[in-house]
Amino acid sequence: MECILDALNSLATLNFLTKRTMIEKFGMLALMTILLVGIWLKYKFTYWQRRGLKVPPFSFYWKHMKAGLMLENAFADRDFNIYQEMKKMGVKHGGIYFVLTPFYVPMDLELIKKMLQNDFNHFVDRGMYMNENDPLSTHLFNLPGNKWKLLRKKLSPTFTPGKMKMMFERLIECTGGMQKVMDKQIGNPVEIKEILSRFTTDIIVSCAFGLNCNSLENPDNEFRTRGRTLFLGKSFLFNLKWGLSFAIPSIYKFFNTKIISEKVTEFFSGVVKDTVTYREKNNISRNDFLQLLIELKNRGQLLDDEKLVTEEISKEENKITLDEIIAQAFLFFDAGLETSATTGTYCLYELSLHEDMQNKVRKEINSVLQRYDGSLTYEALGEMVYLDQVVTETLRKYPPLPSLPRICTKDYKVPGTDLIIKKGIRVVIPVFGIHRDPDYYPDPEKFDPERFSEGNKNDVTYMPFGYGPRYCIGMRFGLLQTKVGLVALLKNYEFKVHPKTKEPLEFDPRIVNMSVKGELWLEHKKCNNSDIVF
């Protein structure tokens, strides 16, 4: 019996020692893992320091990333903070990190100009995530390298001044609905951001999808509902998903992840396919963007542009597919809707604060329209010089995107330094920071259209639509719909800021572009312009 007890005691002791040994081994393993992860993280977060480039302190990086993921401030605010931090460091260029990804930030204007224009072939791509199985993501904004170059060349003729003039009547048609809504609200404040979003929705649906959705009078139609879904109500998980797709797209490529939901894809694909099929079957043509895309699909050139096809590209090679039409129509909706509405919103807000400027714009509008028998034409809009300055200053103070993303497509030696930006490194051009830098725009918080009286908006300090060969192809159309909306409103109504508007304005942290947070309410009353009609 004693032998058995001794044996059991021995086994218990052995078991205890074995467990203890296992715990010790596990603890050592955990400690080694933590140590190795720490070494790896330190290695990752010293990428720029090892290359002799200055970076903000780690506390700034952590605060910056946390604010983005938790929606504590807007994308523009975080970009501006980076710019100011770099400015305090007194550097011509610097580095930052997002998640585990190093980003290069050029600060020197000559360097930015070289990268975006002279040395563009090193920075062709935006580095945006796209998925061939996610057709709406394969549009011009996202496409890389040769795919972008070829499609850009095909689409460029659809955005010429002649084509904008052809579509001008579509824009004018949409102003009638806006005036009806405004007239009904005389005596009551209007949430101008919502009005302009519905106005631009009607224009884009008309021009890009060939349909009349009339969201001004029917704000709950499906296109307007889809627009709200795309731009509003973005959650922590959505922002995390989008941020990671931008910072480390390789993970998304590995798992073949889609960013755009199936419901959104089905809706926009179905609308475009049905409209294209109907037009082709019934031989219907319409002066809009969709018709131009259909011509490129079927002929490889536009009906009135025999010079489109060069010796380098045959008509057959110049054709586009139905999937490409769908993607570009979606881009038209995605990029054009909120940016133009936002620009118009900020412009009316600033003019509501500056009565003298508002009166000056209105006087110019009335003066020009009188020369055109009271009709707003494409040529008349082109003669409104002060209106152009006002819109230009609005885009300076509130650029649609606070920064321009790029990715290095081949190794690049930064001029005047020993630094080589390796292929695959991401680059951020700080547009918002430059636009609000007092070294380039004295008293930058002041709204001053006279800054652009000398026509200096082609300088690299002004980049609301990008710079170099990859500037926004839809710039003309975006400006056109913004100005048409402003003319329709300013010639008919006088505006003041309503007390319901929360000031100072803040940027919406849920949206990448610089949309205003919350509602922007304006008071309005009729102008005495009975002799000026569209």
Sorted by where each begins, the domain ranges of the chain are 58-526
Looking at 59-73, 203-217, 269-283, 433-447, which range is the least confident one? Answer: 59-73
Looking at 70-79, 313-322, 356-365, which range is the least confident one? Answer: 313-322
pLDDT given at position 26: 75
With tokens 């489109």, the residue in question is: 308
Cα angle, residue 431 at apex, residues 80 and 48 outer, rounded to 5°? 70
pLDDT exceeding 90 applies to what percent of the chain? Answer: 61
Mean pLDDT, range 191-197, rounded to an integer: 95
Residue 234 has pLDDT above 60, yes or no: no
Residue 309 has pLDDT above 50, yes or no: no
Mean pLDDT, range 124-148, rounded to an integer: 88
Which distant-in-sequence residues (6+ apart) come within 8 Å of 471 by Cβ? 465
Mean pLDDT, range 436-448, rounded to an integer: 96
pLDDT given at position 531: 46
DSSP summary character for residue 469: G
Mean pLDDT, range 147-162, rounded to an integer: 91
Is 347 assigned to a binding site?
no
- Separation CA 322–CA 274 (nearest Å): 11
- 3-state DSSP of 396-443: HHCCCCCCEEEECCCCEECCCCCCEECCCCEEEECHHHHHCCCCCCCC
pLDDT exceeding 70 applies to what percent of the chain? Answer: 88
pLDDT band at 356 (very low <50, low <70, confident <90, very high): very high
Residue 59 has pLDDT above 50, yes or no: yes
Which distant-in-sequence residues (6+ apart) come within 8 Å of 445 by Cβ? 397, 436
Residue 504 has pLDDT above 70, yes or no: yes
CB–CB of 473/155 below 8 Å?
Answer: yes
Please spell the DSSP secondary structure of 224-274, one letter per residue.
Answer: HHHHHHHHS---HHHHHHHHHHHH-HHHHHHTT--SS-HHHHHHHHHHHHH
Residue 242 has pLDDT above 90, yes or no: no
Mean pLDDT, range 128-149, rounded to an integer: 87
Residue 307 has pLDDT above 70, yes or no: no
Q: CATH classification of 58-526 is 1.10.630.10, yes or no?
A: yes
pLDDT band at 137 (very low <50, low <70, confident <90, very high): confident
CA torsion angle 262 265 271 277 (round to 10): -100
Strand 404-407: give its sheet, edge to edge: 93-98, 101-106, 426-429, 404-407
- Separation CA 480–CA 474 (nearest Å): 10
Residue 10 has pLDDT above 80, yes or no: no
Sign of CA dihedral 367, 368, 369, 371: positive
pLDDT given at position 130: 83
pLDDT band at 175 (very low <50, low <70, confident <90, very high): very high
Cα angle, residue 60 at apex, residues 56 and 65 outer, rounded to 5°? 120
Mean pLDDT of the chain: 87
DSSP summary character for residue 524: E
Residue 455 has pLDDT above 80, yes or no: no
- Separation CA 216–CA 218 (nearest Å): 6
pTM for the structure as a whole: 0.90
pLDDT digits over 65-108, tens only? Answer: 778 777 788 889 999 999 999 999 999 999 998 878 899 999 99
With tokens 């990448």, the residue in question is: 512
Looking at 242-246, 458-462, 471-475, 512-516, which range is the least confident one? Answer: 242-246
With tokens 């506390």, the residue in question is: 59
The pair of structure tokens assigned to 278 is 């109907």
Looking at 161-170, 250-259, 323-332, which range is the least confident one? Answer: 250-259
- Separation CA 167–CA 378 (nearest Å): 10
Mean pLDDT, range 451-479, rounded to an integer: 89
pLDDT given at position 306: 44
Q: Which amino acid is at 436?
A: R
CB–CB of 389/515 below 8 Å?
Answer: no
pLDDT digits over 402-432, tens only? Answer: 999 999 999 999 999 999 999 999 999 999 9
- Strand partners for 421: 412
Backbone conformation region of residue 304, classed left if phi is above 0, alpha if psi is from -120 to 50, else beta: alpha
pLDDT given at position 388: 96
pLDDT band at 28 (very low <50, low <70, confident <90, very high): confident
Sign of CA dihedral 323, 324, 329, 331: positive
Q: Which amino acid is at 71?
A: L
Extract the runs of DSSP E, i.e. beta strands, from 419-514.
420-421, 426-429, 493-497
Residue 214 has pLDDT above 80, yes or no: yes
Residue 221 has pLDDT above 60, yes or no: yes
CB–CB of 368/419 below 8 Å?
Answer: no
pLDDT given at position 533: 47
Mean pLDDT, range 232-250, rounded to an integer: 64
pLDDT given at position 530: 45
Closest CA to 228 of 270, 258, 200, 262: 200
Mean pLDDT, range 229-235, rounded to an integer: 59
Looking at 110-114, 272-276, 315-319, 367-371, which range is the least confident one? Answer: 315-319
pLDDT given at position 403: 94
